A and B are shown apart, each in its own frame.
Chain A
């Protein structure tokens, strides 16, 4: 019995002596949004906004910005500690934004640190900023009306409609995957607001400087995968527009396995007319005509978009990966060479259905 007791006491002493480092919630500065900018001479400027708790029963969260210029990405956190009153941790990081200039130089190093860090989640949003990332971080610190992280909410909300799902995982998926390239939301500071400008196109980890405008995000998503929601405006004729609300859209890729590869993309979209001018929607024939018109517009625009991808030699649609899954003994090197010149055809089938509570 005494032996047991001694073992117990020793183990207790050892336990209390060699604890684990704790992360007590209120003793931490939780980084919410981090921005990276190029700062010349192989240096980067990192900035981060942290939530600062104020004690009291109904206190609001304050926000503070810390920034520093260093040579490596993670190092900037260490440098900011010089001015921080508590330990700065990244476990609650919601979004990381990259300045345009840095994004053009390649951002892999600044994504990789997050991939390696076990404290970081995989629902972390990544975005490119048209301008300086630090501006977004600073604006974020001023948005105090709601406790949410604005940048994250913005991207999350738009992922429902005109933006594809882009988080740390999808970036890594497309970055590591052969024959495909990642995309990211392109944000822009507008006075004291943040706006989604469009979808930034990447070649591997480098922003190519081109983007899909926000309105055409709908078109991109039609090709990107099956999706719901989103509204697209179609110009029927001069001064006559129709708005289509997407109910469901599905896409299918067919890649020709012959010696001369060719891709055929067919999209089926079912939508309802939200608004249309000078058209009587009660007639079946009118609706059919609207469907034909819409198909034409979609086909034209989509083709243009795919052409643009090929011209810039980027593959955000993962055409190459789709080819791999359909061709046995797929030669990915060869595909790289021929990708810009592959003929791609796009077929769109539109079906308009009545929706709404009155006719």
Chain B
């Protein structure tokens, strides 16, 4: 019975008194540093303008060649400075540093600085930042596309992204904190908030969690979102990620905290409550009646998407009494030829839809479209005609899949598609009661869930009627006088309404 016993792996004892060098650790002396640099073929080091003069070294792949030629080499050749301090004066670039600290030198060089030394081997270096960053043009948002409204989306450069937000919020209170995350990637992560509106507790919580992160490479903001989530085992995303700078700017002025990560075209917004995942930014661009209507439709779509197949399984498997009379013949006829029990039928179809989606997502757009058509029409029709699945269920599953894509935030639509499966299994076990039990489990999870310490189900629970104005429905802007209570903003009033004129009498 050693079945459950853990096999103890024998780990060789570490050699004492000898620190193991980690990747990214600074070199021990200058020689070694240059040796490390020179191991890469793209590292250049040469004497300029003449033998015995300055030693100029840089990684040619990350510096901007134009700048190096015109603003450094040309200046050094023409002005002929004799010391590093003189050189620093004549080179027309900001943020130059003279340092002997190996760590600083290494970091600067790796971030595109040109190292200028007076003579080779001397530890004193002038570091001239001269980075060339390749970046994409600002383009149209893809996952959060809107028909009306701004068409800018974040790109992979932190500076551009901050620029996109700053130009929308030209106040000095918009503050930015920068933390480097990742031992190897050294990813710059910016935390943006408006001082005086955003609650400091929220800001501090974000800063603290990010600075406590311990990981080697941060490739995207999604890494951060998962790592600093309140409950990392939850299927529900606890930060909204958006690619729209207008959305980021507008939530900043509500008192939220925005996290931007260098190299990621998505901003994270927190604290988030579940209602916001179903609100598109386009809702603010439309008339409030229409926006409210759309939000309710989305909410209904989500419920339908999660529940419909499990309801089908529950009713067909256990509660034949509950089927509406006029629907009964249709259902019996469509189920008659199907060789599988309802649960298997549903799992097969749900699986097929997931397959199609996954295949479509991994392929280039044009091929993806073909997959959609082939899957949707050919496989669907064939499956029904072969009597493999019933056409009623096919319709339900297709509708449910469609409904799950109505959510404006991509992360939550994945969650919705995933949580369908526990519901399906519960429906097979206990019918409608099983669906209710499963829903209760999710309710208990959602009630416990917080986002940056703020309740996730707000404004439903804790019930805050004043926050309902912009959650499941959106009331007109004139009613949005106060910022959401949930965020505990330091300045609650958004605008002071002017004295409303008395309603005029008819024909006055």
- Which of B60-68, B294-302, B327-335 is near enough to bind chain A? B327-335
The answer to whether A53 and B321 touch across the interface, beta carbons within 8 angstroms, is no
Q: Which of B431-471 contact A (CB under 8 A)?
A: 431
Closest CB in chain A relative to B278 CB, distance in Å: 31
Q: Is the CB of B132 closer than 8 A to any CB of chain A? A: no
Q: How many A-B residue pairs have CB under 8 A?
A: 69
Contacts A19-B429, A20-B430, A20-B431; A56 near B318 (Cβ below 8 A): no
Give Cα A112 to B147, complex, Å: 64
Give Cα A314 to B429, complex, Å: 51
Give Cα A22 to B328, complex, Å: 18
Closest CB in chain A relative to B497 CB, distance in Å: 53
The answer to whether A24 and B342 touch across the interface, beta carbons within 8 angstroms, is yes
Q: Which of B147-182 contact A (CB under 8 A)?
A: none
Q: Is the CB of A257 closer than 8 A to any CB of chain B? A: no
Name the A residues within 8 Å of B334 (CB-CB): 57
Name the B residues within 8 Å of A23 (CB-CB): 317-320
Name the B residues within 8 Å of A30 (CB-CB): 320, 328
Give Cα A22 to B432, complex, Å: 12
Q: Is the CB of A357 closer than 8 A to any CB of chain B? A: no
The answer to whether B320 and A92 touch across the interface, beta carbons within 8 angstroms, is yes
Closest CB in chain B relative to A179 CB, distance in Å: 34
Name the B residues within 8 Å of A91 (CB-CB): 320-321
Give Cα A141 to B329, complex, Å: 15
The answer to whether A26 and B321 touch across the interface, beta carbons within 8 angstroms, is no
Partner of A56 from B316, B319, B336, B430 at Cβ < 8 Å: B336
**Is the contact region of chain A dominated by helix, strand, or loop, or is it mixed?**
loop
Q: Which of A28-53 contact B (CB under 8 A)?
A: 28, 30, 51, 53
The answer to whether A54 and B318 touch across the interface, beta carbons within 8 angstroms, is no
Contacts A15-B429, A19-B429, A20-B431; A53 near B320 (Cβ below 8 A): no
Partner of B333 from A53, A89, A121 at Cβ < 8 Å: A53
Closest CB in chain A relative to B160 CB, distance in Å: 43
The answer to whether B320 and A59 touch across the interface, beta carbons within 8 angstroms, is no
Per-position contact with B for A223-254: 1 when CB-CB < 8 Å, else 0?
00000000000000000000000000000000
Contacts A19-B429, A20-B430, A25-B320; A55 near B328 (Cβ below 8 A): no
| Closest Cβ neighbor of A93 among chain B residues | B321
User: Interface residues of B, CB < 8 Å — how many?
Assistant: 27
The answer to whether B316 and A59 touch across the interface, beta carbons within 8 angstroms, is no
Q: Is the CB of A194 closer than 8 A to any CB of chain B? A: no
Name the A residues within 8 Å of B331 (CB-CB): 25
The answer to whether A25 and B332 touch across the interface, beta carbons within 8 angstroms, is yes
**Is the contact region of chain B dominated by helix, strand, or loop, or is it mixed?**
helix
Contacts A15-B429, A121-B321; A24 near B341 (Cβ below 8 A): yes
Closest CB in chain A relative to B32 CB, distance in Å: 44
The answer to whether B329 and A57 touch across the interface, beta carbons within 8 angstroms, is no
Name the B residues within 8 Å of A68 (CB-CB): none
Contacts A57-B385, A61-B329; A24 near B336 (Cβ below 8 A): no
Q: Is the CB of B391 closer than 8 A to any CB of chain A? A: yes
Q: Is the CB of B387 closer than 8 A to any CB of chain A? A: yes
Q: Is the CB of A119 closer than 8 A to any CB of chain B? A: yes
Q: Is the CB of A58 closer than 8 A to any CB of chain B? A: yes
The answer to whether B332 and A119 touch across the interface, beta carbons within 8 angstroms, is no
Closest CB in chain A relative to B314 CB, distance in Å: 10
| Closest Cβ neighbor of A52 among chain B residues | B332
Q: Is the CB of B235 closer than 8 A to any CB of chain A? A: no
Per-position contact with A for B379-393: 1 when CB-CB < 8 Å, else 0?
000001101000100
Give Cα A147 to B321, complex, Å: 17
Contacts A24-B342, A51-B332, A147-B329; A56 near B337 (Cβ below 8 A): yes
Closest CB in chain A relative to B424 CB, distance in Å: 14
Name the A residues within 8 Å of B338 (CB-CB): 26
The answer to whether B318 and A55 touch across the interface, beta carbons within 8 angstroms, is no
Q: Which of B390-443 contact A (CB under 8 A)?
A: 391, 429-431
Give Cα A186 to B430, complex, Å: 42
Closest CB in chain A relative to B312 CB, distance in Å: 10
Name the B residues within 8 Å of A19 (CB-CB): 429
The answer to whether A92 and B333 touch across the interface, beta carbons within 8 angstroms, is no
The answer to whether B328 and A92 touch across the interface, beta carbons within 8 angstroms, is yes
Name the A residues within 8 Å of B429 (CB-CB): 15, 19-20
Closest CB in chain B relative to A16 CB, distance in Å: 8
The answer to whether A26 and B332 touch across the interface, beta carbons within 8 angstroms, is yes
Name the B residues within 8 Å of A58 (CB-CB): 333
| Closest Cβ neighbor of B4 among chain A residues | A2
Closest CB in chain A relative to B319 CB, distance in Å: 8
Give Cα A24 to B328, complex, Å: 13
Closest CB in chain B relative to A348 CB, distance in Å: 38
Give Cα A91 to B325, complex, Å: 12
Give Cα A53 to B323, complex, Å: 15
Closest CB in chain A relative to B180 CB, distance in Å: 33
Name the A residues within 8 Å of B332 (CB-CB): 25-26, 51, 53, 61
The answer to whether B336 and A89 touch across the interface, beta carbons within 8 angstroms, is no
Name the B residues within 8 Å of A92 (CB-CB): 320-321, 328
| Closest Cβ neighbor of A94 among chain B residues | B325
The answer to whether A89 and B391 touch across the interface, beta carbons within 8 angstroms, is no
Closest CB in chain A relative to B2 CB, distance in Å: 15
Closest CB in chain A relative to B362 CB, distance in Å: 32
The answer to whether B333 and A25 touch across the interface, beta carbons within 8 angstroms, is no
Give Cα A24 to B312, complex, Å: 11
| Closest Cβ neighbor of B385 among chain A residues | A57
Closest CB in chain A relative to B423 CB, distance in Å: 15
Closest CB in chain B relative to A148 CB, distance in Å: 8
Give Cα A23 to B320, complex, Å: 7
Closest CB in chain B relative to A74 CB, distance in Å: 18
Name the B residues within 8 Å of A57 (CB-CB): 333-334, 337, 384-385, 391
Closest CB in chain B relative to A307 CB, distance in Å: 41
Name the A residues within 8 Å of B336 (CB-CB): 26, 53-56, 59
Name the B residues within 8 Å of A15 (CB-CB): 429
Give Cα A25 to B338, complex, Å: 12
Per-position contact with B for A78-100: 1 when CB-CB < 8 Å, else 0?
00000000000101100000000
The answer to whether A55 and B387 touch across the interface, beta carbons within 8 angstroms, is yes
Q: Which of B1-42 contact A (CB under 8 A)?
A: 4
Name the A residues within 8 Å of B319 (CB-CB): 23
Give Cα A234 to B470, complex, Å: 65
| Closest Cβ neighbor of B430 among chain A residues | A20
Name the B residues within 8 Å of A20 (CB-CB): 318, 429-431
Give Cα A53 to B320, complex, Å: 14
Task: For the complex of A and B, list the 6 residue pairs with the smallest distance between their C-beta atoms, beginning with the closest.
Answer: A55-B337, A55-B336, A91-B321, A53-B332, A147-B329, A53-B336
Interchain residue pairs with CB less than 8 A apart (15)? A19-B429, A20-B429, A22-B341, A24-B317, A24-B341, A51-B329, A56-B336, A57-B337, A61-B329, A61-B333, A89-B320, A91-B320, A91-B321, A119-B321, A147-B329
Known: A25-B316, A25-B331. 4 other contacts (CB 8 A): A23-B319, A54-B333, A57-B385, A119-B321
Interface residues, chain A, CB within 8 Å of chain B? 2, 15, 19-20, 22-26, 28, 30, 51, 53-59, 61, 89, 91-92, 119, 121, 147
